Amino acid sequence: MTAALEINDVHKWFGSHHVLDGFSLRIESGEVVGLLGPNGCGKSTVLNIVSKLLPYDSGQVRLMGKPLNELSYRARELVGVCTQHCALYPDLFPAENLHFFARLYGLSEKERHERVAELMRLFELGNFAKTRVGQLSGGWRQRLHLAVSLIHRPKLLVLDEPTAAVDLEARMDLWRLIEGLRDSGTTILLTSHHLAEAQRLCSRVALMRNGKVLAVGSVPELLARMPGQAVAKVQSEDSEAVVQRALGLGWQVRQHADQMRLLLPQLLSLREIVDALEGTKVSAVSVLPVTLDDVYLELMGDDLTPPSTI
Amino acid sequence: MHSSQLLWVQTMAVAHRLLLEQWRQKRGLIFWAVFPSTMMLLFGLVYAHNDSMRAGLDAAAAGILVGAALFFSCLGGTVAVIAAERERGTLPRLLTTPLHPAAYFLGVVIAQLLLALMQVVMLYSIAFSIGVQYRGSLFLGGLILLLSVFSYVGMGFFLGARFARRSEEVVVALSAIGVPLLVLGGTFFPLEIMPQGMQAFAQITPMLHMNQAFKGVAAYGMGWNELRFELSFLLVFCGLSLALGIQSYRHLLHVDKSQ
């Protein structure tokens, strides 16, 4: 079966900076794949290459089975792009923005009117039909931005940190909309700093660092790679004593920044953990099942700031 | 959709959007109309007050149209369009669509042409009402205006793509570069009253030749032969200006793609 997007061993330099170092990823039709990684790891460069905004130096990218560098500028019809910055026309009404972009994609008049009406309804923009886009709140503008990126029914939707610039409520709304797109079979490649976003929306996640993919898989597959099923975060005046006790119990210990994390073989209660660490001057402890945050930290190592969680 | 058909649809989409935005910016539209109208009325009052200058009124109307109204509307308007696209981040957004660069360029040209046509109608309506006469060929006058608009839009793309990063800079840059050019181009005063050195320098400014060409047709009823030099200059300048504008626009797209 032809993949919606296939990226093989792609390299990209900006001057002497090797931004993509053998990046590879395959996305099947209908999948939602999240690209996660620290700032500067090359996520946006991947999206810019897929959107035909940037050329790549070597490797191969195939969009709907066709080599990307052999496709004309009209290949942009295959992709819809939505970034965190709402690039819309503030003096126009929402539907006028949609009509403008629909015409750029060459939709016929009948098709254009139907599609604009459909998206206005789907994204619940009807109440703002006579509001200039510049007067909409950030969340509603981002909603419209997402609608614009879908105006031409793209084969692949590229979302570059789509909820980064909106408040929590708007983010939840956008998540529901993206879930709706996912459930209707839209193929999506998204980058995010919110691991919870990836965990909620993505069928697979690719963790990136230094221009390459460190791990890729579904969230349960990635969680299964962790050497534990739960993580206890511990504060103690005598860290060394905690480490020795934990190792003695067969637990693994991780130190990220100033935080000590104990990887537990199964989810234990707080009481069980406190009892196990008795006499090690523990002042605070919390415990949760492993999440994508933990996988991320495990794979990325100790020397970086983890992306935010909600 | 066939590529040429798509190009046309995209061109009209860009032109329609620009005109719609212009229409929505009511205050800008008022200033856009007030500036040449006021200039025309002021010049009309001055010329009507002095019998010896009355003959110059026809030329003044032509000068105000080409040298001032179209300069600020077409050149200033184009620079403002580019600056606004950059400021709002819509240029990278457009680059993710199949919008052909030529369609964008032509869309801006068509929008500016329509705005220029409205300026012509508005300004000459006032001019005719105060006794100005148009003496030459309408076709030749129209051609000169067309070449002037193309030249201004080309220059607008060049200045907008290379220099104007923010809307505020547009006003400052236009005032700093544009007003001296208008003076040198004989928009406000006849070339003959300028010192010799200034007259020589004025010869290399394109505005002078645009002014002289349109004044020649509109005010003095000159034809193709009498305006051969001015028309040739305008044609070459228009070609250069468009080439420079297109090249600058390509440069802008390249820069914005790399960011």
- Hey, are the CB atoms on A103 and B10 less than 8 Å from each other? yes
Please report the pLDDT score of residue B256 as a whole number.
Answer: 57
**Nearest chain B residue (CA) to A49:** B257
* Chain A residues whose beta carbon lies within 8 Å of the beta carbon of residue B24: 91-92, 132
Chain A interface disruption, residue of B97, B100, B253, most A CBs within 10 A: B97
Q: β-strands A79-83, A156-160: how paired?
A: parallel
CB A120 within 8 A of CB A129: yes
User: What digits encode the pLDDT tens for the residues A245-278?
Assistant: 888 888 888 887 777 889 998 888 889 988 888 8
Please report the pLDDT score of residue A204 as a whole number.
Answer: 94
* A290-A296-A300-A301 Cα dihedral, nearest 10 degrees: -20
Average pLDDT, chain A: 88
Could you tell me if A134 lies within 8 Å of chain B, comparing CB atoms? no
Work out the minimum CA distance from A80 to partner chain B, whole angstroms.
8
User: What digits encode the pLDDT tens for the residues A95-151?
Assistant: 999 999 999 999 999 999 999 999 999 889 999 999 999 999 988 998 999 999 999
Please report the pLDDT score of residue A305 as a whole number.
Answer: 46
- Hey, are the CB atoms on B95 and A53 less than 8 Å from each other? yes
Contacts of A89 (CB under 8 A, 6+ apart): A96, A97, A100, A133, B17, B21, B88, B90
**Nearest chain B residue (CA) to A100:** B13
**Which of A53, A88, A132 faces B257 most closely, judged by CB atoms?**
A53
Give yes or no for residue A16 having a pLDDT over 70: yes
* Chain A residues whose beta carbon lies within 8 Å of the beta carbon of residue B94: 104
User: Helix B138-162 and helix B228-258: axis angle, to 10°?
Assistant: 30
Which of the two residues, B174 and A222, has the higher pLDDT score?
A222
- Hey, are the CB atoms on B24 and A73 less than 8 Å from each other? no
Three-class DSSP category at A44? helix
Q: β-strands A17-27, A5-14: how paired?
A: antiparallel
Could you tell me if B33 lies within 8 Å of chain A, comparing CB atoms? no
CB A208 within 8 A of CB A36: yes
CB A103 within 8 A of CB A112: yes
**Which of B88, B92, B97 faces A104 most closely, judged by CB atoms?**
B97
d(CA B171, CA B80) in angstroms, rounded, equals 9
Could you tell me if B27 lies within 8 Å of chain A, comparing CB atoms? no
Q: Which run of H or E residues covers position B94?
A: helix B90-95
User: What digits encode the pLDDT tens for the residues B93-118?
Assistant: 898 899 988 899 999 999 999 998 99
- Hey, are the CB atoms on A103 and B13 less than 8 Å from each other? yes
Could you tell me if B257 lies within 8 Å of chain A, comparing CB atoms? yes
Give yes or no for residue A236 having a pLDDT over 90: no
- Hey, are the CB atoms on A91 and B17 less than 8 Å from each other? no
- Hey, are the CB atoms on A91 and B88 less than 8 Å from each other? no
ipTM of predicted complex: 0.85
* DSSP category for residue B102: H
- Hey, are the CB atoms on B88 and A104 less than 8 Å from each other? no
* Chain B residues whose beta carbon lies within 8 Å of the beta carbon of residue A85: 89
Sequence length of chain A is 310
- Hey, are the CB atoms on A106 and B9 less than 8 Å from each other? yes
Could you tell me if B175 lies within 8 Å of chain A, comparing CB atoms? no
Please report the pLDDT score of residue B255 as a whole number.
Answer: 64
Please report the pLDDT score of residue A304 as a whole number.
Answer: 43
* Chain A residues whose beta carbon lies within 8 Å of the beta carbon of residue B1: 106, 108
Confidence of residue A45 (pLDDT cuts 50, 70, 90): very high
* Chain B residues whose beta carbon lies within 8 Å of the beta carbon of residue A63: none
Judged by phi (left if over 0) then psi (alpha if -120 to 50, else beta), residue A5 lies in beta
* Chain B residues whose beta carbon lies within 8 Å of the beta carbon of residue A75: 98
Which of the two residues, A239 and B229, has the higher pLDDT score?
B229
Could you tell me if A17 lies within 8 Å of chain B, comparing CB atoms? no
- Hey, are the CB atoms on B9 and A76 less than 8 Å from each other? no
The single-letter code of the amino acid at A175 is W
Work out the minimum CA distance from B96 to partner chain A, whole angstroms.
6
- Hey, are the CB atoms on A91 and B24 less than 8 Å from each other? yes
Annotated domain spans of chain B: 3-258
* Chain centroid offset of residue A210 CA: 17
User: Helix A94-104 and helix A138-149: axis angle, to 10°?
Assistant: 30
- Hey, are the CB atoms on A106 and B97 less than 8 Å from each other? no
**Nearest chain B residue (CA) to A47:** B96
Token duo for residue A81:
């792009």
* The 3-state secondary structure of B121-153, one letter per residue: HHHHHHHHHCCCCCCCCHHHHHHHHHHHHHHHH
All domains of chain A, ordered by start, with CATH? 5-218 (3.40.50.300), 226-300 (3.30.70)
**Which of B10, B12, B90 faces A89 most closely, judged by CB atoms?**
B90
**Which of A53, A87, A106 faces B89 most closely, judged by CB atoms?**
A87
- Hey, are the CB atoms on B20 and A92 less than 8 Å from each other? yes
Q: Which residues of chain B have pLDDT under 70?
A: 54-55, 254-259
- Hey, are the CB atoms on A106 and B94 less than 8 Å from each other? no
Question: 3-state DSSP: chain A helix, strand, coil percent, rounded to 5?
Answer: 35, 30, 35
Give yes or no for residue A310 having a pLDDT over 60: no
**Nearest chain A residue (CA) to B253:** A53
**Which of B3, B92, B98 faces A104 most closely, judged by CB atoms?**
B98
**Nearest chain B residue (CA) to A96:** B17
